[in-house]
Amino acid sequence: MIISKTENDENIALFSFISGGLCDIVSLCLGMLKFICEMKKDLTISAARNGLVSGEFSSFELTSWYLDRIEQNASLNAVITIDREKSLLAAQRADEKIATGVDLPLLGVPIAIKDLFCTNGMRTTACSKVLHDFIPGYESTVTQNLLDDGAVFLGKTNMDEFAMGSANISSYFGPCFLPFRKKSDPSVRLVPGGSSGGSASAVASDLCVAATGSDTGGSIRQPASFSGLVGIKPTYGLCSRWGMIAFASSLDQAGPLTKTVEDAAIMLKSMAGYDPKDSTSENVQIPDYLESIGQSIRGIKIGIASELMAGLSQENLELIDRVCGWLKDSGCEIVDLSLKTVPYSLPAYYIIAPAEASSNLARYDGVRYGYRAEGCRTIDELFVRSRSEGFGEEVKRRILAGTYVLSAGYYDAYYAKALKIRKMIRDDFRDNAFSRVDAVLLMTTPTTAFSIEESGKMTPVEMYLNDVFTVTANIAGLPGISIPAGLSGDGLPMGVQLLGDRFQEEILLRIAHILEKCANFGELKKSILMEDMVNDG
């Protein structure tokens, strides 16, 4: 067949037209994909719910995107267990409910769960070899509350083993990392804090919309500060501990890690509530915390305790001064306080917490459940080897310390004295703080996020000092919230903390929301050096 020059020119023109059109379509599709990725990045609970209800995206699409992102950014080691099929099925069911007009606070919103909340049919390990293959046949009360409000679970997040740590480096599944880098040394990888480091990293890296955490001595608030997030530790007894793997029963408390104060209010409302299965659960009315968002804080009194300012770096002092200025401009009164018992919080904590841990972890003996050493000839050998091989170094250290302070010759000298100090601290806050002010302002952490290499050089005591500003709330059973308020000279998030009286979460959320607006951290975050993330648009 002979093709004329005219026909050939026409074919070339047609091919150019088609290929040009295809390029335009591909370019448009890539542009739309990038737009969708950007829209999903930094997605809050309220924005996700609006998008789901309006039909901008489905829960199935959103859940698929997050699951892909988790798998593609596995180097962060933030999420250690996923069940794609189960998550997508839950998302599909959420879409069906949305289509029929069902309205629930978290319906279709993909969140992540710290790996010490028992989840029915999904591996729950507390990031310990002892429980590395444990699959519960029941759901914790907190996670059931979230499911009842429509949440879609993406998976389980990394954590320090049995929630013992401040850097997420004691996990059986390896350390977890932040997506941020220091300006002065971008080559080093940073820890997200602990023990809820996986949850913090997952939210900060946009691997989920929000996540649950637990706070025994600061394990929600410290990672929140390192990660530029909002983290709230509720009043002891506000959220049920049933189905949470125990560390220290009189200190453990569940709470959320979120991108905004508004999201924290939404999550807390869903997580909180009386539970007859938990003897420490408080039967109190749970308010609609969202109603406190946006309210004026004029006339509120904020306390500054001199004991909590001692030893702060110049950078931290400047941040506190700046925050005080925002509060004054918003109509608050700053009140100087003295809380003389507060410096004893950390030593009291590191007696009470290990003592309770040594008791709680006695159940992991290789007989009833959990890791069981092979080839043991006697029951004593089974106990010793199962626990020695199953527990990590930090957990063994705390079990030994706890057993020591509970032993016959030292109970009165250490444990009983720590309990007396605890009561003195509670009384001090009641009599000398909350009789005069509505909230107490302090730093969340003494430093910003540090590297794995730096953590390896710290002694156990130096690592414990990361909790110096957070353990007080746990010892006294008070609520506390960490809010990102600025960036360090190295370009890393810095958080400030508010402590309130028992069951006064509404006041803390009101103040925190104002501080959030003043800090404008969403804009500041754009200047943080980030790791190269896959599926980032």
Domain-embedded: residue 129: yes
Residue 495 predicted with pLDDT over 50: yes
Marked catalytic residue, from 40, 58, 87, 114: 114
41 an active-site residue? no
User: Tokens standing for 345?
Assistant: 């919080």
Residue 400, classified by CB atoms within 10 Å of its CB into exposed (0-12), middle (13-18) or buried (19+), is exposed
Residue 535 predicted with pLDDT over 80: no
Domain-embedded: residue 126: yes
Q: What 3-state DSSP class applies to 235?
A: coil
Q: What 3-state DSSP class applies to 353?
A: helix
> Sign of the C-alpha dihedral, residues 414, 417, 419, 423?
negative
Q: Which residues contact 31 (CB under 8 A, 6 or more apart)?
A: none
Domain-embedded: residue 21: no
448: left (phi over 0), alpha (psi -120 to 50) or beta: beta
pLDDT digits (tens, 9 = 90+) for 202-223: 999 999 999 999 999 999 999 9
Q: What 3-state DSSP class applies to 233?
A: strand
Q: Which residues contact 454 (CB under 8 A, 6 or more apart)?
A: none
User: Tokens standing for 10?
Assistant: 């026409």
User: What is the maximum span of the chain, computed from C-alpha positions, in angstroms?
Assistant: 106
- For the segment 507-520, the average pLDDT, to the nearest whole number, is 98
Domain-embedded: residue 261: yes
Note if the pTM is more than 0.85. Answer: yes
Domain-embedded: residue 24: no
- For the segment 164-186, the average pLDDT, to the nearest whole number, is 96
Q: What 3-state DSSP class applies to 147?
A: helix
Marked catalytic residue, from 171, 219, 225, 455: 219
Contact 441, 320 (CB under 8 A): yes
Domain-embedded: residue 181: yes
What is d(CA 472, CA 341) in angstroms, rounded to the nearest whole number?
A: 10
Q: Which domain holds residue 88?
A: 45-342+420-530
Confidence class for position 26, pLDDT limits 50, 70, 90:
very low
End-to-end CA distance of the chain: 48
Domain-embedded: residue 1: no
Contact 113, 155 (CB under 8 A): yes
CATH number at residue 286: 3.90.1300.10
Task: State how many domains the chain has.
Answer: 1
Q: Which residues of 267-286 are buried (b: 16+ CB within 10 A; e: fewer)?
A: bbbbbbbebeebeebbeeeb
Domain-embedded: residue 84: yes
219 an active-site residue? yes
pLDDT digits (tens, 9 = 90+) for 274-329: 999 999 999 999 999 999 999 999 999 999 999 999 889 999 999 999 999 999 99
386 an active-site residue? no
Closest C-alpha to 393, from 165, 215, 111:
165
Q: How many CA atoms lie within 13 A of 480 on its CB side?
A: 33
Marked catalytic residue, from 59, 128, 195, 199: 195
pLDDT digits (tens, 9 = 90+) for 62-85: 999 999 999 999 999 999 999 999
User: Tokens standing for 204?
Assistant: 């900060």
What is d(CA 275, CA 479) in angstroms, rounded to the nearest whole number?
A: 19
